[in-house]
A and B are shown apart, each in its own frame.
Chain A
Amino acid sequence: MALLEVEGLHAHYGKSHILHGVGFAIGTGEIVSLLGRNGSGRSTTLKTIMGLVKPTAGTVRLDGVDLAGRRAFRIARAGIAYVPEEREIFTNLTVDENLRLGIQEARAGSPTWALEQMYDYFPQLKERRNTHAGLLSGGEQQMLTICRSLLGNPRVLLIDEPTEGLAPKIVKVVAEVIFDICRKGVAVLLVEQKLTIAMRIAQRVYVMGHGQIVFGGTPEALHNSPEVRHEWLEVN
């Protein structure tokens, strides 16, 4: 059984129907990338899994337990963590306070992370632990958000465009960390705009179009399907 199974997920923003029955699955320690053009519904899929957008139909099963329709904090406590595109750090709090807010008790079957471990990962954050998070650079804010979500000891990590607007050097660091996270047994669902990065990091990829999954397979399979790339990914 897959760790996270999404089936027939529908979501609306007001009257507009955004997700039309999205379904896919992720196993423990797997990195899966969600691809697609802007507006194809990738970010909404993450938000709906997280409970920040209420699904109008469908199921989101974590280890067999359906979480669809629950409030976001319950989903977070069940073991799903979310790193939004906007990073959403708490700018009025210090780096340390931000991290402490993310701490949750360890739950059975999920890898655990400690605060000091985060500081070892990113020594820059340790140096600035008493700085207001609003004063951090974009890259540091991204690290902070990832660390904060890891401190909740998640089983599944949803990351939306982690490399957006970051310098190439930082992109490499973030990619390394994502590898490390999945090596510890966390399943990672990655929304990534940059095709090359997604193809390199992910073990499997799904392509979205018009609020549905239109392709699922290995990066090689996508590489060998120019018609899929042409119709759903490339800008023409």
Chain B
Amino acid sequence: MTRNSFFLHVCILVLMWTLLGAAWNVLGGFAGQVSFGHAALFAVGAYTTIILYLKAGLAPWWGMPVGGLAAALVSLPIGFLCFRLRGPYFALATLAVAELFKLVALNWESVTAGPVGYLITTLPPVRLFGTRLDWEGKPPFYVAAALLGVIALGTTGWLRGSRLGAYLAAIRENEDAAEAVGIDTVRAKVVTLALSAFLTGVGGGFYAFYFRYVDPDAVASLNLSMEMIFIAVVGGLGTVGGPLVGAAFLTAVGETVRARFQVGHLLAYGLFMMLVIRYMPEGIWGRLRRMVPGRRRDGAA
């Protein structure tokens, strides 16, 4: 890989992780519902996109939104089940659901191709607004990822100012009090989960499209859920800009350390996480915002 394309690759990763961190943050940061199971939704998006392309010939850039819708649909029964539980019990339930999804992906070979997974060998060029887009290089992916990043940040920005956003702030702080003022907390949480799932599924679709390879370990592992959590936490829970900052920091740290040391890069990564959580519990973005006087709430939990 040339230096230039490596740089673009890192930018694409940052933007993809921005989308995923923001998706998790919608539920975990704004609504205060910590999920360890977002990998399941990511997997639904990734599998939907790649299967639709390989079996039905649907181009991945259409497969991505379809993958998002599939993830949102799948999230509804999960939400109704898991939202009966609160706090750590909810988190554990989502973890169990994600492991269940991984097992299904490993064993339902007729649909998911089991542990072998799917591989995209060729991506035909496409004409978009009169220009020919060739998917062999990085730039078109960079543009697509940038678009997704903007959509993710735009969605969270809208959410923060919306009535639903105010409901979520109330739910995050005190669910009983929110119910007592007449907020249907289960409905608000299910809607939020569906929104979060849609963004996560789109991210999964993009992953399949960009890396061209989907198997259970790559798209349904606990690591993936953890990464989303880390990005939101390091960037700033319940903030709009947080996931971008978190994704940039963690990708930069991760890739730099990986390039330097073959082993031990996860160790450095973990150390960095611990330092941030210890010294900046409101996240990097949350800390930066606090240093700017006169700004209004961004509601770090």
Tell me the complex Cα distance, A50–B176, Å: 10
Q: Which residue of A lies closest to B187 (CB)?
A: A73
A52-B176, A72-B176, A88-B176 are contacts. A93–B181 as well, Cβ < 8 Å?
A: no
A73 & B185 in contact (Cβ 8 Å cutoff): yes
Tell me the complex Cα distance, A82–B182, Å: 10
A52 & B167 in contact (Cβ 8 Å cutoff): no
A contacts, CB < 8 Å to B: 50-52, 71-73, 76-77, 81-82, 84, 88-94, 97, 100-102, 104, 132, 148-149, 152
A73 & B182 in contact (Cβ 8 Å cutoff): yes
A152 & B182 in contact (Cβ 8 Å cutoff): yes
Q: Which residue of B lies closest to A52 (CB)?
A: B176
Which A residues are in CB contact (< 8 Å) with B179? 51-52, 71-73, 76
Which B residues are in CB contact (< 8 Å) with A50? 180
Tell me the complex Cα distance, A84–B174, Å: 12
Which A residues are in CB contact (< 8 Å) with B183? 73, 101
B182 & A90 in contact (Cβ 8 Å cutoff): no
Query: Least Cβ distance of A82 to chain B in Å?
Result: 5
B174 & A88 in contact (Cβ 8 Å cutoff): yes
Tell me the complex Cα distance, A109–B156, Å: 40
Which B residues are in CB contact (< 8 Å) with A149? 180-181
A94 & B170 in contact (Cβ 8 Å cutoff): no
Query: Least Cβ distance of A148 to chain B in Å?
Result: 6
B contacts, CB < 8 Å to A: 166-167, 169-170, 172-174, 176-186, 296-297, 299, 301
B181 & A91 in contact (Cβ 8 Å cutoff): no
Tell me the complex Cα distance, A72–B179, Å: 5
A91 & B166 in contact (Cβ 8 Å cutoff): no
Query: Least Cβ distance of A200 to chain B in Å?
Result: 27
Query: Least Cβ distance of A48 to chain B in Å?
Result: 13
Name A76's contact: one of B166, B169, B182 (CB within 8 Å).
B182
A101 & B170 in contact (Cβ 8 Å cutoff): yes
A52-B180, A76-B179, A149-B181 are contacts. A132–B297 as well, Cβ < 8 Å?
A: yes
A93-B166, A97-B166 are contacts. A76–B173 as well, Cβ < 8 Å?
A: no
Q: Which residue of A lies closest to B238 (CB)?
A: A92
Tell me the complex Cα distance, A133–B83, Å: 27
Name A102's contact: one of B167, B181, B296 (CB within 8 Å).
B181
